[in-house]
Chain A
Amino acid sequence: MEITVTINGSDHASDVEPRTLLVDHIRRTVGLTGTHVGCDTTSCGACTVLMDGKPVKACTVLAAQADGSEVTTVEGLKTADGLHPVQQAFTDDHGLQCGFCTPGMMLVGASLIAENADPSDDEVRWAISGNLCRCTGYINIVKAIRTAAARVAESSNGS
């Protein structure tokens, strides 16, 4: 079936089988491999993308269900000015070790900050509770998301 998904601001029209999963569509058809396949059973969150602004597990959404949606993958986080504040904070605060869960963690972090300018540790932990880090690097992931939130708040206050 014919679908058009807006991925990171660009429209991608494709003919997909109904059983094509959104994560496979993004990785194989569109060729954006920053979205990972981890458990493939709706548990780990490595395949997290933002669908119309909300984080979802792309291994558990049919590509056909995303027809007409706006999808943001990790490749879409960067801005014209460079890295997204969440990406910069993960770099500065050592928010990743192996990096496998990182795209999902950063997308959840970015969507949290968009809704809550000053999340507490508990709120960050709650938000990322559907995403697993097998390196168990949660301390720095939480720290990085809070750093990003603080920097976003600071720059918006300053402007």
Chain B
Amino acid sequence: MFPARFDLVVAQSVGEAVEAKADAGEGGRFLAGGQSLIPMMKMRVAFPDTLIDINRIAGLGAIERANGHLQVGALARHAEVVASDATFGAIAAAAPWVADPLVRNRGTMCGSVAHCDPEGDWNSVLLATGADVVAQGPNGERSIPIAGFIDGAFTSTLGEDELVVGLRIPVPSGRSGGAYLKLERKVGDYATVAVASHLELDDSGAISAAGLALTSVNPINTKVADAEALLVGQQPSEELFAEAAELAAAAAEPRDDVRGSAAWKRQVVRTYTKRGLAAAAQQAEGS
């Protein structure tokens, strides 16, 4: 299989890439790792007439902490996120579960986020931790909170003329922990069910901030806001996490498919929410 014909623009700078995208209009797509886009082009479900390759742009590969944030550049590969010491909690937990080792050598975290695959892992993780997507357009840079960035399946609120140049993820200042529990049939498959959890504790050991999001059980990655609200202000406990798990199970709208029955997936949401929150709390208490 091979893609339909397209023109390739190899951009040497962000400015050049953004300009090429503006020229290409709706038929233009950016190419980073290409691990989702190239297969879609080969299957002819995507057929851009211009591809703008951003891989040669210098300075987009950083994974670093600055000003209380974890900053991930547009060309940081999943494998580099796995290997990085700058990550924390749910980010570090999720990275090894994205795709497979070979795909992780090419695919980028920002590319996954921008792709907005409704069954992708990273957007759930970022809904739990909080994050800003940094976009560059012809008129400069803007930050888009992740919840406002995800607009639907394969759809974001990114402008036609904007490039995702990085992610800005707040690093908790106090004690914190996170988890990403993913059930998959085989390495590299989409999640059957996955749950991202993130907890921050105050000096008394009570939960000061909570994040909980689900993968593959709704039409898009889903933040369980009522469970997050329930958790904040409480002391971590098995009973509390069981209550949050009921809210998560209620927020899930899984479907019967080749990966399992809806009822079973809902039960996995319940179990993984309890386990994920317990793991996050344990990590936070030890941090």
A pairs with B: yes
Q: Which residues in A have some Cβ–Cβ distance to B below 8 Å?
A: 1, 17-21, 24, 40-43, 45, 48, 51, 54-57, 59-62, 64-65, 108, 126-127, 129-131
Interface residue from B4, B38, B187 paired with A62 (Cβ < 8 Å): B38
A65-B55, A129-B100, A130-B101 are known contacts. Are A18 and B7 too (CB-CB below 8 A)? yes
| A19 with B102: CB separation less than 8 A | no
A61 — which chain B residues lie within 8 A by C-beta? 34, 38, 106
Q: Which of A19, A41, A48, A126 is packed against the most chain B CB atoms within 10 Å?
A: A19
Asked whether, in the complex, the Cβ of A40 is within 8 Å of the Cβ of B103, the reply is no
Known: A41-B42, A61-B34, A64-B10. A56 touches B106 (CB 8 A): yes
A126 adjacent to B101 (CB under 8 Å):
yes
The answer on a CB contact under 8 Å between B1 and A48 is no
| Chain A proximity mask over B1-25: 1 for CB below 8 Å, otherwise 0 | 1111111101000000000000000
B53 within 8 A of A: yes
8 further contact pairs, Cβ within 8 A, besides A19-B6, A56-B102: A18-B6, A19-B2, A60-B34, A60-B38, A60-B39, A61-B34, A65-B34, A131-B102
Q: Is the CB of B39 within 8 A of A19?
A: no
- Please pick, from B43, B53, B103, the residue contacting A57 in the complex, using a CB distance under 8 A: B103
Of the four ranges (under 10, 10 to 19, 20 to 34, 35 or more), the interface on chain B belongs to 20 to 34
Q: A108–B38 Cα gap in the complex (Å)?
A: 22
Q: B203-230: which have CB < 8 Å to A?
A: none
A41 CA to B38 CA in the complex, in Å? 9
B2 touches A21 (CB 8 A): yes
Q: Which of A21, A56, A126, A131 contacts B105 (CB 8 A)?
A: A56
Check A40 against B102 for contact (C-beta < 8 Å): no
- Listed by A's residue number, 18 A-B pairs whose Cβ atoms lie within 8 Å are A18-B5, A18-B7, A20-B2, A40-B1, A41-B1, A41-B43, A42-B103, A45-B102, A51-B105, A56-B102, A60-B103, A64-B8, A64-B10, A64-B53, A108-B101, A129-B101, A130-B102, A130-B103
Q: Which of A48, A54, A57, A62 has the most CB of B within 10 A?
A: A62
Q: Across the interface, do B34 and A130 meet the contact criterion of CB distance under 8 Å?
A: no
Does B152 belong to the interface (CB within 8 Å)? no
Q: Which of A40, A42, A45, A65 meets B53, CB within 8 Å?
A: A65
A55 contacts B5, C-beta separation under 8 Å: no
Are A130 and B188 in contact, with the CB atoms below 8 A?
yes
Instruction: Tell me which residues across on chain B come within 8 A of A20, comparing CB atoms.
Output: 2
Asked whether, in the complex, the Cβ of A24 is within 8 Å of the Cβ of B55, the reply is no
Judge if B235 is at the interface, Cβ distance under 8 Å. no
Question: Given A24-B2, A60-B39, A62-B34, is A54 in contact with B105 using a C-beta cutoff of 8 Å?
Answer: yes
Q: Which of A59, A60, A64 has the most CB of B within 10 A?
A: A60
Which residues in B have their C-beta under 8 angstroms from that of A126? 101
* A55–B102 CB distance below 8 A: yes
